[in-house]
Amino acid sequence: MKITKWYLYALMIVALAVFSASAQDTNKVEFFGGYSLLSVDTGLDEFDADLFDSRENIHGFNGSITGNVSRRVGLKFDFSTHSKELFNDSFTQVKARNNQFLGGVQFKNNEKDGPVFKPFGHVLAGVSNQRLSCEGDCFVGEGVITSFTETQNNFAMVFGGGLDIKVHPRIDIRAFQIDYNPIFFRANEDSTNFFTDSRTQNNFRIGVGIVIH
């Protein structure tokens, strides 16, 4: 009985030592921040093809924090914001903004002494808050109204990945990140015009930046 007890104690000590060594060899937390380009499937060309394009490139910022639970897997929170003036003349100004709050899993080599080139992938899901505003003479339906703002929260996902390059034991350069970013619009009867139909907005996101461990 005593032998069994000491055997269990020995196993616990070995397991703790292995876990401690593994934790020391792995980057526990990762911070990313950088430039982001969002290619948006606007759907606005259905209302006026002469004024709006079916796809708009919108500049913005993308940041994330990842807590690594193992050498290959991390839990990730991702935030991005993009905004652009879509149209502006003497009478009308149209602006768009897209904020996204996402969470999910990242797959990457998280070893402190890992390779210089670190490919990664992630799967994220969350909420997209989109805002479309018009000031001045705004054509909606068969009439003209003066100024309106449409805001809607929708389910969003991100499927993608990229490549990080180690330049310092605690710093990587994100050479590129490419994501497919679908947003699932739901029908809204209270909408003035632009968010009335259910549809999938097929967006793409490209980014570069700095990763700190």
Task: Name the band, by pLDDT with cuts 50, 70 and 90, for residue 19.
Answer: very low
pLDDT of 24 > 70? The answer is no
pLDDT of 49 > 50? The answer is no
pLDDT of 4 > 90? The answer is no
pLDDT in tens, 140-161: 655 566 677 788 899 999 999 9
Q: What sign does the dihedral 136-137-138-143 (CA atoms) show?
A: positive
Task: Name the band, by pLDDT with cuts 50, 70 and 90, for residue 80.
Answer: very high
Query: DSSP per residue over the chain, as a string?
Result: -HHHHHHHHHHHHHHHHHHHHHHHTB--EEEEEEEEEEEEE--GGGT-TTT--SEEEEEEEEEEEEEESSSSEEEEEEEEEEEEEEEE-SSEEEEEEEEEEEEEEEEE--BTT--SEEEEEEEEEEEEEEEEEEEEEEEETTEEEEEEEEEEEEEEEEEEEEEEEEEETTEEEEEEEEEEEEEEE---TTSSSTT-S-EEEEEEEEEEEEEE-
- Please report the domains of the chain, with CATH numbers, ordered by start residue: 27-212 (2.40.160.20)
Overall average pLDDT of the 105-120 stretch: 94
pLDDT of 88 > 70? The answer is yes
For Cα atoms 92, 93, 97, give the angle at the middle one, nearest 5 degrees: 150
Tokens at residue 17, please? 């030592």
Q: Which has more pLDDT, 189 or 103?
A: 103
Tell me the C-alpha distance between 202 and 183, whole Å.
Answer: 7
Residue-level pLDDT at 17: 46
- Written as one letter, the residue type at 96 is A
CA distances from 57 to 3, 60, 142, 184 (A): 69, 10, 29, 19
* 25 neighbors 111 (Cβ within 8 angstroms): yes
Q: Tally Cβ neighbours within 10 Å of residue 22.
A: 12
pLDDT in tens, 62-76: 999 999 999 999 999
Percent over 90 (pLDDT), the chain: 52
Identify the CA nearest to 154 among candidates 107, 194, 206, 106.
194
Mean pLDDT of the chain: 82
Residue for token pair 């210089």:
116
Q: Beta partners for 212?
A: 31, 171
| pTM score, whole prediction | 0.78
Tell me the C-alpha distance between 203 and 160, whole Å.
Answer: 12
